[in-house]
Chains A and B, each alone.
Chain A
């Protein structure tokens, strides 16, 4: 029980990290980035090859991978998403799915569809704390996730840039009138959102086996975590992720591992029906 609770918490932290960028892109630009998972997947390959070919420890890549993925995100923003900013249309959702498919199949062509795992010196270590097994990699991932959510929330709340992002999110036109360049702010925000995908991929790869479809297959959890936390809320997405992780591990321990995701879908439907703005979302925004 306690074991399931703790591993759920740790896993949930990474789910939260995964979902934060997804939620941020929606909160600021009303963009549902279905390709978010594909970007996480690309970060995983990046870190994997940096380790196997160049011997760079995954922990260092926490700083490098987000930059690379943010660069990719910026290209995608300018090429595809820029024209959809501010309205979630059918076309935008389809464009995002198409983009995810393209990234995923490019990865299949480049890296082959086989599933791999990164084996480094500390990835499979376990520590025993008070009778509970803790995976070293999962604990590090959780710590990184907490640092990230704190940093992003602080940046959004207290820096000029963060305030500009929130201003553009609230009302892009009004923000432009008072001298903000909404396009530049959005580009930066999308870079931040995809950079978070880069961090998520980096910590995930240290203990999670991966293949080109891993990003897509993790997207449902990101969707659920984001809806639970309130679509658009970064901190909410993190907490939503933790709830998902705990529910999943508890179901797995008490019922059946194959059905570990099922209560999550139920939870999603209940939230959509009765509380679509989530635990922390603002009702006015919806």
Chain B
């Protein structure tokens, strides 16, 4: 790792970690940072299969939601600590990814994208129907225990900021490693040209399966942290299509297939989301927030497919 990256990255992480110690800080701002970190985490997870592997999953909400429901269910029903539950949740997410992959990865990429849309909507319908287990439309509330570290529950948002930060830094380092690892190189080869990758001995199917499972497990972890923070989960938040579309923004804005991209993109996306929420509330215009999302997504895809990282790299590459 270059010293400059270490300084910039470490400095940023330290700055974020120290935010709760600012005297008199409003916990609202800490909550916004927690939201941003969750957003970044989801972007990092999605980036593994979509950015590195080139497989457009529109169903990542499923992994997020299944993990969140699993942890809440284990805790409410059996008193199992989320610290244990999170492993079950991540394993479930990965298993689900393998099942979806088994059905779709042998045919062309477009079928995978279509299947993931349908699956996430299917999950939403089931979650709304199985009221006894999921709380139906109203959602499921995690039993509240006050500040109880064993139950991963805290009254203030600061511990979540630290936990999320550790995960984001971990995911970043993992992505950096993955980009250079054999698996990462295989994923990128599959993304760039499936036929060429297969011809040079890459097992395309297995590569996609492993990449998808890893991505799903990472998404599951984000789901666990989300449900512990809000202590509630509902079918729309968990499996809704809007959630799946939101997940794509950080990596797209920041730069697909890069390690730092989702972090930059997530930070930009959360500012965007806060600004549009504020605008939608002030102007009383329903749909204003979705409009901004759509326009930004369209603009990035059409005019800046490499995202902010692409812009930074180009700038660095041009001789002064």
B113 at the interface (CB under 8 A from A): yes
Per the 8 Å Cβ criterion, residues 248-292 of B in contact with A are: 248, 252, 256, 285-291
B111 at the interface (CB under 8 A from A): yes
Per the 8 Å Cβ criterion, residues 106-129 of A in contact with B are: 106-109, 112-113
Instruction: Give 8 A-B contacts (CB < 8 Å), ordered by A residue.
Output: A93-B58, A98-B297, A98-B301, A102-B291, A108-B287, A109-B286, A227-B114, A273-B106
Per the 8 Å Cβ criterion, residues 64-118 of B in contact with A are: 102-104, 106-111, 113-115, 117-118
Chain A residues within 8 Å of B149, by CB: none
Complex contact B302–A220 (CB within 8 A): no
Size range of the chain A interface in the assembly: 35 or more
A256 at the interface (CB under 8 A from B): yes
Complex contact A93–B129 (CB within 8 A): no
A8 at the interface (CB under 8 A from B): no
Complex contact A268–B294 (CB within 8 A): no
Size range of the chain B interface in the assembly: 35 or more
User: Contacts A80-B302, A98-B297 known; A262 to B125 CB distance under 8 Å?
Assistant: yes
Complex contact A256–B115 (CB within 8 A): no
B128 at the interface (CB under 8 A from A): yes
Complex contact A269–B287 (CB within 8 A): no
CA distance A102 to B287 in the complex (A): 9
User: Contacts A90-B50, A91-B305, A258-B128 known; A272 to B115 CB distance under 8 Å?
Assistant: yes
A261 at the interface (CB under 8 A from B): yes
Cβ-closest chain A residue relative to B112: A272
Complex contact A256–B129 (CB within 8 A): yes
A71 at the interface (CB under 8 A from B): no
Chain A residues within 8 Å of B211, by CB: none
User: Contacts A101-B290, A212-B287, A273-B103 known; A32 to B125 CB distance under 8 Å?
Assistant: no
Chain B residues within 8 Å of A227, by CB: 111, 114
Complex contact B287–A272 (CB within 8 A): no
